[in-house]
Amino acid sequence: MKALALPWSSAVVALVAAIAMPFAGASLWLAFAVLVAWLASLWLARPEPEIVQVRTEEGSVSRSAMIALVEPFSVPVLMLDQQRIASANAAAREALGPHIVGQDARVALRHPQAVTLLDKPEGMALVRGLTGARSIWQVSRVAIDERFSLIELVNRTAEADISRAHTDFVANASHELRTPLASIIGYVETLADPDAKVDPVTTAKFHNTVLRESKRLQTLVEDLMSLSRIEAEKHEFPREKIDLGQMAQTIGSEVAFTVGEERIILETEPGVVSGDRQQLDQLVRNLIDNALKYGDAEAPVTLRVRRDNADVVLEVQDRGEGIHPDHLPYLTRRFYRSDPGRSRAAGGTGLGLAIVKHIVERHRGKLDIASKLGEGSIFTVRLPLVQQPVLPQG
């Protein structure tokens, strides 16, 4: 029940005075009448509850109605009374902390761009570092009337990250393309220069270099195209039923034929997955290729496929130097190389593992990289097993 809104201490004084009056000789009726008049005047003089009206162009709304209106918004919204934060919706309390309600907005937002915005009745500003060092918020202020205003905050961090990743990618790709191109142009110019008088042995060497660099360019363009194709299809789950064990066996035998039987150990059992044949083929080849490139040239690479509960597990294990733990989290980034010189010398593009990661994601699988320095690495891919229907016997 709601407490009666009376100034209770004054009421007690009135009561005590009314009780004392008959003792001082006043009649009981007079004391009672004075008490009633006193209490009535206290009741009439009680402070009115604060119902602040916010005037809009259409009329006026109570402040509490306005607060209730912005509460469910998914973007943070603050209501300012002059410069004081009168209320903050759930999204704003989560982003900036519940303590901001009641604070001066210039203190709560405390960034030069935000403070400049708060000096104006309306406007928009991009504020960096409001909720984390890398965060970027678009802060807009709209005046409701001369006293109240709304501040809306839109988180632009993810957009900025994507745009930065795009810029980095274009810069890296251009750099990777420019290096072999510059080398090709340099050698061809020398060969074409009659004054250079290049002897036949050097000419043959130059031709070889031009061919090698052209092939590097071709591989790079092919990898870039693969990556963009896989990314374009990343939301389409591939439906072809593929026996990964059989596929790995075929690829492994083919590679063993080229690099020598002793370099590949095959341990495969059947395991059907739902997949894209070309992409799974590329995934297996990229992992074997890396194991051969970065593992010990004398030691074998093991290619395993086994079923494990609801998964088909593919493992590619090499014996060699291994990978330093510092590099492990970044290996699947585009153009990341733990040893750039070695990767380039081996014809690497720095995109192989990024392609593997995207293929695994499209197949709703999981990629794990485990490595021990001085021992070697194991790249493990888990894909969901497709349960084959059991055919009736006989």
Dihedral of alpha carbons 337, 343, 349, 351, sign? negative
- The secondary structure of residue 48, as a DSSP letter, is P
| CA terminus-to-terminus distance, the chain | 80
Cβ of residue 245: shortest distance to ligand ADP, in angstroms? 21
Residue 232: HSE in the Cβ half-sphere, 13 Å Cα cutoff: 6
**Alpha-helical segments (H) within 111-232:** 112-118, 157-192, 200-232
**SS3 state at 344:** helix
> Does the protein bind ligand ADP through residue 267 (CB under 6 A)?
no
- Residue among 66, 217, 280, 331 that touches ligand ADP (CB under 6 A): 331
Q: Left (φ > 0), alpha (ψ -120 to 50) or beta: where does 366 sit? A: beta
Q: Is 264 in the site for ligand ADP (CB under 6 A)?
A: no
User: What number of residues does the chain have?
Assistant: 394
CB 365 within 8 A of CB 382: yes
Stretch that binds ligand ADP, among 3-11, 35-43, 125-133, 331-339 (CB under 6 A): 331-339
Which string of x and - marks every residue 288-317 that binds ligand ADP (by CB under 6 A)?
--xx--xx----------------------
Indicate whether 318 belongs to the interface with ligand ADP (CB under 6 A): yes
Residue 226 as a binder of ligand ADP (CB under 6 A): the answer is no
Residue 377 in contact with ligand ADP, rule: CB under 6 A: yes
Q: Are 266 and 254 in contact (CB under 8 A)?
A: no
Q: What are 287's two structure tokens?
A: 């992992």
**Residue with Cβ nearer ligand ADP (57 or 326):** 326
- Stretch touching ligand ADP by CB under 6 A, among 79-87, 169-177, 193-201, 329-337: 329-337
Binding residues for ligand ADP, rule CB under 6 A, total 20
Question: Binders of ligand ADP among 334-353, rule CB under 6 A?
Answer: 336-339, 343, 348-353
Residue 87 in the binding site for ligand ADP (CB under 6 A): no
The number of CA neighbours under 13 Å toward the Cβ of 391 is 2
Minimum CB distance to ligand ADP, residue 149 (Å): 52
Binding site for ligand ADP (CB under 6 A): 290-291, 294-295, 318, 323, 331, 336-339, 343, 348-354, 377
